[in-house]
Structure 1
Amino acid sequence: MIPQPWKNDTEAQQVGDGRGTDNWPEASGQLLRLMMNRVNTVLLGKSEVVAQTFAALLAGGHVLLEDVPGVGKTMLARAIARVMGGDFRRIQFTADLLPADVVGGLIWDGKRGELVFRQGPLMANIVLADEINRTPPRTQSALLEAMEERSITADGETMPLPDPFMLIATQNPLRDDGTYPLPEAQLDRFLMRLSIGYPSPEHEVQMLENAPPRPAPEQLRPVIVPQEWVRMQRDAQSVHVHPALLGYAVQIANATRSAKELALGASPRASRDWVRAAQATAYMEGRRFALPDDFKRTAEAVLAHRLVLRDEAAASGMNAGEALGRLLAAVPVPAPGAEGGRRR
């Protein structure tokens, strides 16, 4: 039984009168499950990572997939792009890539005898930024406006990006040769950073046996159209969050800003993204209200990559995830009856 105080008064009254329900229309849940099931046929044994990726995109954010080569980062991004439908573009980031190769720019049209604007690959619903940390910071910065403002500026003209716009980036660990660290301003624009990890032995054997044959991402059929995904995003952002849970999110964010182990804590954008991720997680489970568990489950994926350790903490072997875990353990989760129960 879900504690009633996490719901808002309107929903609780509708449920009590028989005029409403705690759940979203079944059609939306069926579509989400179908999309994730199809992606899971391509990437075996990684259903939790697939669900987290969908939650981040449903929250209106972008995803950074960071892991060693060969574990399926690019495959996951391509599979998600296929089941979502819409325009898809892939940018292979290399050391010689220029900002104009990403956002577009003016080129000379010999037939017209004039300069014309050529759209870059960012003009799409879903963009795969493959190996984003293999390009210099100058080109990485070309994504900053697109990720936050959903627009691009080229040759003095600002143009909106398609709606929806989602960026899925992959990167290898920074210790690999030929990589450039992403600046903090760009990391802060990724709603989640996720790691796929190696497959379990049984799934790796199944992959090698290829039995049953796994479809390639390009063979997956779209489940929805972009307009349907925009509606789902709006529904997810309307999930009710109790004021006590909002206060809890702010309390954790403030704790990261004053923690002695951290040189840089969570930004207000991080707090906003954490709430949206919790809302999207609740929506994917069919609920119209968020629970503390939704915040707990998404905390590390949303917050850890935005934190910067002090040198002495890093030298001791601590990582950002461990520092965040200590803060989460120290701050109590609000009880169901916090702030007098239901919102008045």
Structure 2
Amino acid sequence: MSAPLTIPRWADVVLVPLVSVASAFLVAGLVVLFIGEDPLSVTRILLQGSLGSGEGLGFTLFYATNFIFTGLAVAVAFHAGLFNIGGEGQATLGGLGIALALLNLGFLPGFLLIPVGILAAAAFGAAWAFVPGYLQARRGSHIVITTIMFNWLATVLMVYLLGNVLRETGSMSLETRAFPEASHVPALHEFLGLFGVAIPTSQLNLTLLVALAACVAVWLLIYRSRLGFAIRTVGANPTAAAYAGISATRVTVIAMSVSGALAGGLAVNELMGYQHRLLLDFTAGYGFIGIAVALMGRAHPVGIVFASILFGMLYQGGAELAFEKPAITRDMIVVIGGVLILFAGALDGLFRRLVAGALTRRPRAVEA
């Protein structure tokens, strides 16, 4: 049996993700070369489309905001030893909470309506995650299976409600009527315009600040609180946690509820910051990408921010790339994202061993 693999913390947090990302892009470059395109030209277009203009940067950060919320959601559960892959369903229910709150409380002023919408998203997301957490803690149901099931249940519930209950009268689309204008989270270009600062128009809105605040809150929770210590202890060694008097049942339920509340932030960014109405499939797979974001970011809020920006660049730059290079379709961008996920997740152990070997290698003594 091999000895446990140990590497410095800085290498595990910084070097291993860099090596895995570089390797993933190398493989993606070979795929691009295989279909007859120049990888360097493709990389230039990708970077220019995502970071080369104010508009492109705005869209990149808009997508990154979604990934920050879903990445944090996965990370909190992961610290408790839970693999929450139900971010899509939890965000969907968060959107339902926003719609029910804003469409029925439109008489409130904006300074109250926006916080009410955010709290509703968090509450509904937490409630949807609470059930799988409770089933895991009390009944032994596997969290992966139950969260997958709850993703589908959320979709079916949303189809029914938008088709039969919440759909705007006279509309053929599966969406609600527009939310009250006072509930719209201001776009960043509109907000800065109030102070005379002009930036290009994009979907980026002040929900980004909420996402960054959530990063700070998660860091304080996980690394600077008694509850966070309990969460990490249960995740690292449930038996030791039990001997220490920590209730694994309580920690599991709380961690999943917090995770679901964070996933609800995706709904705030998409619905209150951009769409301004509840519509079907607004989650667009962001919940699943959050798994890769959390893995690549080592479940740490700082790492999650950087990983979110990387995937935001891929989303925005990929759209520009598909326009400039017809041979690089949106499906190809999905393939590149899949390679990133594969290298950051399934092959993580391989890269940790490579880095550990490189750091511990010593030159042989020169014989006299």
TM-score, with length taken from structure 1? 0.28
More strand by share: 1
- Structure number with higher relative contact order (C-alpha < 8 Å, ≥ 6 residues apart): 2
TM-score, with length taken from structure 2? 0.27
More helix by share: 2
